[in-house]
Amino acid sequence: MGKSNTCGQTGVWLARAGSKSEAHLLFLGCNVIALGPPQLGDLTHADATRDAFKSLCRTAFPDANYSSIGGVAGQLYRFVHEVQSNDLVIYPSKKDGRLHIGRFSGHYKFDQSHDARFPHQRPIRWLDDVARTEISEELQKESRAFKSFYAIRSCAAEVFDLAAKVESH
For the stretch 39-98, pLDDT in tens is: 999 999 999 999 999 999 999 999 999 999 999 999 999 999 999 999 999 999 999 999
Q: Where are the domains positioned within the chain?
A: 3-40+85-167
Residue 5 in this model has a pLDDT that exceeds 70: no
**Per-residue pLDDT at 55:** 97
- d(CA 78, CA 144) in angstroms, rounded, equals 19
At residue 111, the 3 state secondary structure works out as coil
Residue 1 in this model has a pLDDT that exceeds 90: no
Residue 3 in this model has a pLDDT that exceeds 70: no
**pLDDT-based confidence at residue 144 (cuts at 50, 70, 90):** confident
Average the pLDDT over each of 11-15, 70-74, 145-149 and give the range with the smallest value.
Answer: 145-149
Q: What average pLDDT does the chain have?
A: 92
Give the DSSP H/E element, type plus range, for residue 137.
Answer: helix 137-142
Report how many helices (DSSP H) and strands (DSSP E) the chain contains, helices first: 5, 7
pTM of the model: 0.91
- d(CA 46, CA 64) in angstroms, rounded, equals 20
For 3-40+85-167, give the CATH class: alpha beta
